[in-house]
Amino acid sequence: MAHAPVIADSSALTSWRARPRSFVGLMVLYESNYTRLGWLVEDVRKLGDLSMSVVDGDCELVLKMTERGPYTATFTLTYLLPEREAPGAVPTSSPDLSVRVYHDARLAEALDWAPAHEHQMLRRMRRMAERELDQCWARNTMLNKWLEYCVERGHRFPQPQAQP
């Protein structure tokens, strides 16, 4: 199976006015999210309603489409974490991000994340983000780093095969 060429997110143009934690800087982060998402899935628009990526030594990664439009797609991205307490129990999901892709603008924005987190670093990021802009930065920084991590672990969402 041929993969799309890897595009470096470092090629995203940054305005000289972009400051860390600024609105312009946030838009550059959305561009980077879009590029990194492209490493994971060639075209979100072609995915089915539920897609899974399974690699040895990592949790199952699930992408569930929640909304499709001509210019956007919205989905949740989550890990299925094995239940620690009881063998055979239903897995829980985390961090459970809601993501919107803006196809024409080539942006991907983390809209929302789980209301509570088990991981200490995620709880700290949430506490530190007081203003809405800070919340956007925290969510999208999390998405950016997580997408890179998932790709490094070997996750990919294959495109459906065309029917003859």
For the chain, the domain total comes to 1
Task: Classify residue 153: in a domain, yes or no.
Answer: no
Task: Classify residue 52: in a domain, yes or no.
Answer: yes
Provide, rounded to the nearest whole percent, the portion of the chain with pLDDT above 90.
Answer: 48
Which are the contacts of 33, defined by CB distance < 8 A and separation ≥ 6?
Answer: 99, 107, 108, 109, 110, 140, 143, 144, 147
Structural domain boundaries enclosing 75: 45-102+110-133
* Pairing verdict, β 72-81 and 60-68: antiparallel
Task: Classify residue 68: in a domain, yes or no.
Answer: yes
- So what's the pLDDT on residue 123? 54
Q: Could you give the residue ranges of the DSSP H alpha helices within 17-115?
A: 23-40
Task: Output the CA angle 125-127-129, nearest 5 degrees.
Answer: 70
Task: Classify residue 78: in a domain, yes or no.
Answer: yes
- So what's the pLDDT on residue 94? 62
Task: Classify residue 24: in a domain, yes or no.
Answer: no
Q: Chain-centre distance of CA 5, in angstroms?
A: 19
**Residue 3: which pLDDT band, with cuts at 50, 70 and 90?**
very low
Task: Classify residue 69: in a domain, yes or no.
Answer: yes
Convert the pLDDT of each residue in 27-78 to its tens digit. 999 999 999 999 999 999 999 999 999 999 998 999 999 999 999 999 999 9
